[in-house]
């Protein structure tokens, strides 16, 4: 039985129990949820819309989620502070946006040459991932409860207006780039900036940036990158899996009943399953359309992939030396991955590299 079916059946069972005559009435909770990604973006924005629909479909739980599109209530890069201070009591975003506040935060969002979705989830849910995730916010003074609430599989690694055949072709480029992969690109001579999704196309159009990465083909298509850049590179070495978080102000969280907290956790687990499935189901049609548009879908050469991986190793060492908590988290994830590799090399078929 799939994880999603299990989650749905569990939610139904819980709702039935709580709506029974003997159930204690739940205190009403309105979660105002500003989001970092428009709900029109599949996998990114549709995930929290899906979760909110599931939550709102069970009014007996007393929770109502109200979604606010990016910038309507809180700007995407201000969500963490807004939730922590109580300006709003919840928000949906990704931890990679907080690198300027917490060096380790991108490790809870996407890791270059890092785990794919199944392995990443295993670390979060059955390793120390979630424990360390909450510890990061607590030790940094943020008054939030974090729930893992979405995940997508690999992205592409960038849209360029010209082919990139060597490291020399990267030097001097101005590029929108996310997370730890951006640190790698900077080390290779790229000037990187982190722009929210809605600002990328205008920046490309005005030539404020020369290139960009953002997400999966179906998401990038919605933003129109193919209209300006005709070289789309694969694989997304910087984001083999990307996770998303539902942040809840701790006062709001602590004021909820245990059953309400559990219900939200279950809804987010269902959201994770749905987001992975949706993302995996809708990419190939877009790649076909890109081919028809004359887009060059290029797989990085082994030399370039080796360069990116070597540079990532250097970045990881530098950040570990700079920040004790980054070192702690990265060491824990690396140890988990070393153990997981014993399973992976025996249980899975080798994947083609191009």
Predicted confidence at residue 331, as pLDDT, reads 98
Element (H, E) at 267: helix 258-281
Q: Are 197 and 223 in contact (CB under 8 A)?
A: yes
User: Is the predicted pLDDT of residue 144 greater than 50, yes or no?
Assistant: yes
User: Is the predicted pLDDT of residue 7 greater than 50, yes or no?
Assistant: no
- Both tokens of residue 169? 């072709």
Q: Name the strands in the sheet holding 191-193, side by side, starting at the edge strand that comes first in the sequence.
A: 191-193, 174-176, 211-212, 158-160, 231-234, 296-299
Question: Domains in the chain and their CATH numbers?
Answer: 3-152+241-281 (3.40.190.170), 158-239+295-321 (3.40.190.10)
pLDDT, one tens digit per residue, over 84-134 is: 999 999 999 999 999 999 999 999 999 999 999 999 999 999 999 999 999
User: Is the predicted pLDDT of residue 3 greater than 50, yes or no?
Assistant: no
State mean pLDDT over 60-75: 97
Q: How far apart are CA 145 and CA 84, in angstroms?
A: 9
- Both tokens of residue 252? 């709001």
User: Is the predicted pLDDT of residue 353 greater than 90, yes or no?
Assistant: no
- Residue 22: pLDDT band (50, 70, 90) is very low
| Rg value, the chain, Cα | 20
* Bridge partner residues of 280 (DSSP): none
Predicted confidence at residue 131, as pLDDT, reads 98
- Residue 45: pLDDT band (50, 70, 90) is very high
Predicted confidence at residue 1, as pLDDT, reads 39
- Residue 354: pLDDT band (50, 70, 90) is low
Predicted confidence at residue 9, as pLDDT, reads 39
| Mean pLDDT, rounded, of the chain | 93
Q: Which string of b and e fits 315-348 if b means at least 16 CB within 10 Å?
A: bbeebbeeeebbbbbbebbeebbeebeeeeeeee
Q: CB-side exposure of 224: number of CA atoms within 13 Å?
A: 10
Q: What angle do CA 102, 106, 108 make, to 5 degrees?
A: 105
Q: CB-side exposure of 249: number of CA atoms within 13 Å?
A: 20
Question: What percent of the chain lies above the pLDDT cut of 90?
Answer: 89
pLDDT, one tens digit per residue, over 223-280 is: 999 999 999 999 999 999 999 999 999 999 999 999 999 999 999 999 999 999 999 9
Best CA proximity match to 110, nearest among 100, 120, 118, 102: 120
Predicted confidence at residue 25, as pLDDT, reads 75
- Both tokens of residue 127? 């390793």
User: Is the predicted pLDDT of residue 173 greater than 70, yes or no?
Assistant: yes
């Amino acid at each position: 039985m799939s994880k999603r079916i299990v989650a749905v059946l569990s939610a139904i069972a819980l709702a039935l129990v709580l709506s029974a005559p003997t159930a204690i009435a739940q205190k009403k909770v309105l979660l105002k949820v500003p989001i970092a990604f428009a709900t029109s973006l599949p996998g990114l924005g549709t995930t929290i819309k899906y979760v909110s629909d599931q939550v709102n479909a069970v009014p007996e739980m007393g929770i109502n989620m109200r979604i606010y599109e990016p910038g309507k209530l809180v700007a995407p890069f201000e969500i963490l502070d807004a939730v922590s201070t109580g300006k709003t009591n919840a928000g949906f975003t990704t931890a990679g946006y907080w690198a300027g506040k917490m060096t380790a935060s991108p490790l809870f969002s996407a890791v270059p040459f890092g785990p794919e979705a199944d392995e990443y989830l295993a670390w979060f849910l059955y390793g120390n991932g979630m424990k360390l995730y909450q510890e990061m916010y607590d030790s940094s003074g943020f008054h939030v409860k974090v729930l893992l609430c979405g995940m997508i599989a690999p992205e592409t690694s960038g849209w360029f207006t010209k082919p990139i055949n060597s490291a020399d072709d990267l030097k001097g480029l101005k590029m929108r780039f996310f997370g730890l992969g951006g640190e790698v690109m900077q080390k290779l001579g790229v000037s990187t900036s982190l722009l929210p999704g809605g600002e990328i196309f205008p920046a490309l159009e005005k030539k404020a940036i020369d290139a960009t990465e953002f997400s999966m083909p179906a998401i990038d298509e919605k933003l129109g990158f193919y209209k300006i850049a005709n070289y789309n590179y694969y694989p997304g070495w910087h984001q083999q899996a990307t996770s998303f978080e539902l942040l809840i102000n701790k006062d709001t969280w602590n004021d909820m009943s245990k059953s309400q907290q559990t219900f939200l956790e279950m809804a987010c687990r269902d959201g994770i399953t749905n987001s992975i499935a949706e993302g995996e189901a809708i990419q190939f049609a877009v790649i076909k359309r890109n081919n028809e548009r004359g887009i060059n879908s290029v797989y990085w050469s082994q030399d370039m992939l080796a360069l990116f991986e070597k540079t990532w190793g250097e970045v990881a060492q530098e950040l570990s030396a700079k920040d004790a908590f980054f070192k702690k988290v990265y060491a824990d994830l690396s140890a988990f991955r070393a153990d997981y590799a014993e399973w992976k090399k025996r249980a899975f078929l080798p994947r083609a590299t191009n």
